[in-house]
Amino acid sequence: MGRLLLAALLAGSAMLPAQDMPAVRMLLSDWGGLTRYGSENTELPALKPGEKRVVFLGDDITENWGEEFFAGKPYLNRGIAHQTSPQMLVRFRQDVIALDPAVVIIQAGTNDIARLTGPGTQGMIIENIESMVELAQLHGIKVVLASIMPVCDCTETQTVQRPIGKIRGMNAWLRDYAQQKGAVYLDYYSGLTDDREMKPELTTDGFLPNAKGYSVMAPLAEKAIAEALSR
């Protein structure tokens, strides 16, 4: 695709770095990301008796989880870098419901705030998350709603794209909505922040967690899964 077409498609949204242009090309050919895990989904082994499968649905932060966290566990990583909540909603049936999980962890919103697929309001993010939660509960899947992660300007300027006030506002809604719907709120934010920004020692670039960041997140995720399964 020519640069003019890409510029027209992405007008009004944040432009991605040059190294992310393959992701932009994929966005043009498969906006919802339905081909990313299509083959893996069809090759999954049948659930063992009593096995409780967990699907992690999300964006860059989910996709970048280290393989060691999922090794030997009935956990499926269904994260796609740069995705926003409407794209996750498009693939929710394929990448969550069809896999028959006991629990889904939904981590969405940070790329909506950054406008990676175009302008969007908090109301739009909320509606997409509500739809995913309603679909999951309709199919008997326990829901864990993960907070939007903190960012910091420690290595790169991140708070312009993802303002702290917007992150906190969405997290307040996620916490309240989880309580309203009988879901579990997974508070990554508090574990990774100094009360305002992400702790510099826990991130690679002020946005993505590093190995230390994921080591903080892992027990929080395990606790949330156990809580969801006990309900």
82 has pLDDT over 90: yes
How far CA 25 is from CA of 76, 80, 113, in Å, comes to 25, 14, 21
| Domain spanning 3-230, CATH architecture | 3-Layer(aba) Sandwich (3.40)
Lowest mean pLDDT across 9-13, 115-119, 216-220: 9-13
For position 18, what pLDDT does the model report? 59
Q: Can you give the length of the chain in residues?
A: 231
| 8 Å CB contact between 133 and 141 | no
Find where tokens 């303002």 sit: 163
Report which of 11, 13, 2 is spatially closest to residue 117, judged by C-alpha positions. 13
For position 6, what pLDDT does the model report? 45
Model pLDDT for residues 176-192, shown as the tens digit of each residue: 999 999 999 999 999 99
Beta-carbon contacts of 106 under 8 Å, excluding residues fewer than 6 positions away, are 57, 58, 88, 129, 132, 133, 136, 143, 144, 145, 146
pTM over 0.85: yes
Average pLDDT over residues 185-202: 95
pLDDT-derived band of residue 111, with 50, 70 and 90 as boundaries? very high
In whole numbers, what is the pLDDT of the chain averaged over residues?
Answer: 90
Residue 173 CA to residue 183 CA, distance in Å, equals 13
Residue 24 CA to residue 18 CA, distance in Å, equals 10
Map out the domains of the chain as residue ranges.
Answer: 3-230
